[in-house]
A and B are shown apart, each in its own frame.
Chain A
């Protein structure tokens, strides 16, 4: 099996499959929430958004958007390359936020409480063989 192209429809489908398979509702603390990650300066110069929706700890949706992303409870925004570094485990998401490479919109108190849950989600995404 070849690698998935980062942020392609195939990558999103694989992400959904792995997240649903690997993350139990208990592991995800029965969380109901939504999050978008906004990638600026993609290789083609465009901006892309990935929308994640969880209901009762189950990932229901991972979808790609360019201009019509749904509203989410949390939005994390940053350079494509920053997200790529995080996915390649070259940079910790927390360090990227603390240094301002990523910006977070949404209630920080809630976000801190949910950070370990999001880390679990990122750990699964990092297992996808990806071409950046």
Chain B
């Protein structure tokens, strides 16, 4: 039975044909004759399928898009997607079936006389699997379409995907519920001395097992799936990326558990922290600092503020409490359906392809509220992450696992 969510009364329903029509309307406004999407975020947002292999989606000015993906995965992509067999093609190392030949077959019928504008996705990203068109692809397509011009048009999808629809939000809510199941499993496993003899990788695995049982498709983060840090690794300077290691958990040390679950391309991402007892007063001081800051941050998020104004307010609080030097001065990263991670909003800031610090949050936007506290000299640190939905008068934190740093 196909996996696609096509019933309008399904809470996870997304109107993908309407998304395509919205893209087509924007193409008309920008004079784009055919849109060539290559970024993972664009593929997820238009197809409702996870495309782990290099893939491209070709969107004409009217009608359905066609995706090409590695032939070994094309039938599965079709099964997951709302598109039919005629609009999901496989490429392979075969005459006429390589990526460039297929793309030209799909693009040329939409360029009368071979002339016109092909909207492409180019740029740079902190996120490795972003999927911008490569230089090689650009050169080969330019040579194969000599009368056409290739113009950067990723802003079309970026603009349209900024405000999340109900189906997307519900997918994130469910992914976050699943992450909470993972956190509960970790908590049950480590309490009453259960952590003794366990490694970070074991924590990552038992959380993954619990989340998969609850319906997660995978631990989606490219940073190593479930990120687990213990002891000094929690306090690595500015260290907000800790793939689980084989390090054994030890008493008297902090433990950071950052779990990731995916539900229909909606992403759960929540980090929770522990002190493996006995904890010192100093450790509790650090912990209280962090919990109070997270609490303040969640109360501050609302439409109309910007990353800069949020950072100013929170860093003032850190300064007053005497722990400013331990805070990484960033409090969120962007999020959307699988592949849309890191940058918030459009590419409008002073540094290309980074978040615009003056971006004004709007109701319906989602970000990962993300904070990292690191004190390398004391070997202690904490992380908080949680998808939040920005509203006019506040925000909804999607993971409901209670905020706190408890001593286990």
Contact = CB atoms under 8 A, between A and B. Distances in A.
Interface in A92-115: 96-105, 107-110, 112
Contacts of B88: 109
B206 interface: no
**Which has the most chain A C-beta neighbours within 10 Å: B71, B90, B91, B95?**
B95
A108 B94 contact: yes
Given A101-B95, A103-B96, A104-B96, A112 B71 contact: yes
A77 interface: yes
Nearest to B105: A105
B281 to A, nearest CB: 64
Interface in A59-97: 77-78, 96-97
Q: How large is the interface on B (under 10, 10 to 19, 20 to 34, 35 or more residues)?
A: 10 to 19
B85 A97 contact: no
B320 interface: no
A109 B95 contact: no
Given A103-B101, A109-B71, A109-B75, A97 B90 contact: no
Nearest to B71: A108
Nearest to A105: B96
A103 B74 contact: no
A104 B74 contact: no
A104 B85 contact: no
Contacts of B78: 109
B377 interface: no
B93 interface: yes
Contacts of B94: 97-98, 100, 103-104, 108
A71 to B, nearest CB: 13
B89 A108 contact: yes
Contacts of B71: 108-109, 112
Contact of B95 (A97, A107, A110, A112): A97
Given A109-B90, A112-B71, A103 B85 contact: no
A62 to B, nearest CB: 22
Contacts of B75: 109
Contacts of B90: 107-109, 112
B349 interface: no
Given A109-B71, A109-B75, A104 B89 contact: no
Nearest to B78: A109
Contacts of B97: 97, 103-104, 108
Given A109-B75, A112-B71, A104 B86 contact: no
Contacts of A110: 85
Nearest to B96: A103
B95 A102 contact: yes
B371 to A, nearest CB: 45
Interface in B40-92: 71, 74-75, 78, 85-86, 88-92
Nearest to B94: A97
A103 B105 CA distance: 13
Interface in B239-288: none
B85 A109 contact: yes
B89 A107 contact: yes
A13 B93 CA distance: 34
A85 to B, nearest CB: 15
A103 B86 contact: no
A38 to B, nearest CB: 11
A49 to B, nearest CB: 15
Nearest to B98: A100
Contact of A100 (B74, B85, B86, B95): B95
Contacts of A105: 96, 105
A103 B91 contact: no
7 contacts: A97-B97, A103-B94, A104-B96, A105-B96, A105-B105, A107-B85, A108-B94
Interface of B: 71, 74-75, 78, 85-86, 88-97, 101, 105
Given A98-B94, A109-B85, 9 more contacts: A96-B95, A103-B94, A104-B96, A104-B97, A105-B105, A107-B89, A108-B92, A109-B89, A112-B71
Which 7 A-B pairs rank lowest in CB-CB distance, beginning with the nearest? Answer: A103-B96, A103-B95, A100-B95, A108-B90, A109-B90, A109-B74, A97-B94
